[in-house]
A = this chain, B = another copy of it.
């Protein structure tokens, strides 16, 4: 078979080479500007013309080139995920949620981990956004809580969504995870089991969630006439090791708590190790409750009672909001933290 001669005037085989806006315009007998109007859902196209163009688009399998479109729009079709949370499961769940919403939209996800303590952080993010002309960005804790970044984003007029435990910005820029409610659920669970002496292992204080989870805990205890004793609070760092160390400290107290609420599952897993070292049984001697409901919660022994966080759903909501495609309201149980009772919590010892 001899190589096919290119037929510049009437080529209609787009199985190998992708069709362009010019091909569609030629085949539909209109100008490329009119094709552009159809692509961009402009209302000012005659119904009949629109249908003819749409037929050609379908037939040729034409898809607009995001690069060319981006160059002309001065804006790409890339969405950036900017994060500093080191937990792999959080990161992956968030990515999956964003991608859930982005599937079929023509947008793609560019990931950008960062270090909040890095001095050039704000400039780095700014360069990343300006260089790629990002369509918008999603920020997760704790970088989402950094006002310097939010300010820069407004300055360069970049669309953004901040995922955080409380409203830090205008509603259009926020997805709230309401971690206070998670702390509240943990407190109620433990109080209802009969615990009166409860310990708290906090996450690192630079994460807003640490404070929200604690304030929810205190609110829930107060409902039952209980308070969080000062010496029953230990400040960890959301890491396994810090959870273990904090739990050692709390469980070595003469008046040791009968239950510990840890700020996340990693620290709760550390607390489990500390209890084992001290030959305390869980939940017989001490109940332990985590936060996140990541895989680790069901891998440790005993499986952890924990607060489930709908991270993937949160990610989906964030991307929908960024793309201006908010779907119908989500049921609260789908987007708010909720307690998952497993085997690490039980009534206090007699």
Point out residues on A near B: beta carbons under 8 Å: 18, 63, 65-68, 70-71, 76, 78, 88-89, 91-93, 95-96, 99, 106, 108-111, 113, 127, 130-133, 240, 266, 269, 272-273, 276, 295-296, 298-301
Residues from chain B with Cβ under 8 Å of A295 in the complex:
88, 240, 296
Partner of A91, one of B92, B131, B266: B92
Seed contacts A88-B91, A110-B110, A296-B299; 18 additional CB < 8 Å A-B pairs: A65-B71, A65-B131, A66-B131, A67-B71, A67-B76, A71-B71, A78-B110, A88-B88, A88-B89, A88-B92, A88-B93, A95-B111, A96-B113, A99-B111, A240-B299, A266-B299, A295-B296, A300-B300
28 A-B pairs, CB-CB below 8 angstroms?
A63-B127, A63-B131, A65-B71, A65-B133, A66-B131, A67-B70, A67-B71, A67-B76, A67-B132, A71-B71, A78-B108, A78-B110, A88-B88, A88-B89, A88-B91, A88-B92, A89-B89, A99-B113, A109-B110, A240-B298, A240-B299, A266-B299, A272-B301, A273-B301, A276-B301, A295-B296, A296-B296, A300-B301
- Do the beta carbons of B269 and A299 come within 8 Å of each other? yes
Partner of A301, one of B76, B91, B92, B301: B301
Residues from chain B with Cβ under 8 Å of A78 in the complex:
108, 110
The residue in chain B whose Cβ has the minimal distance to the Cβ of A71 is B67
State the Cβ distance, A197 to closest chain B Cβ, in Å. Answer: 25
Copy number in the complex reads 2
Residue among A67, A130, A269 having the largest count of chain B Cβ atoms under 10 Å: A67
Partner of A299, one of B76, B106, B108, B300: B300
The residue in chain B whose Cβ has the minimal distance to the Cβ of A70 is B67
- Do the beta carbons of A68 and B71 come within 8 Å of each other? yes
A240 to B298, CA, bound (A): 9
- Do the beta carbons of A67 and B269 come within 8 Å of each other? no
Residues from chain B with Cβ under 8 Å of A276 in the complex:
301
Residues from chain B with Cβ under 8 Å of A132 in the complex:
66-67, 108
Residues from chain B with Cβ under 8 Å of A18 in the complex:
130
The residue in chain B whose Cβ has the minimal distance to the Cβ of A133 is B67
A67 to B110, CA, bound (A): 15
State the Cβ distance, A1 to closest chain B Cβ, in Å. Answer: 18
- Do the beta carbons of B111 and A109 come within 8 Å of each other? yes
A301 to B299, CA, bound (A): 10
The residue in chain B whose Cβ has the minimal distance to the Cβ of A241 is B298
The residue in chain B whose Cβ has the minimal distance to the Cβ of A134 is B108
The residue in chain B whose Cβ has the minimal distance to the Cβ of A131 is B63
A66 to B269, CA, bound (A): 45
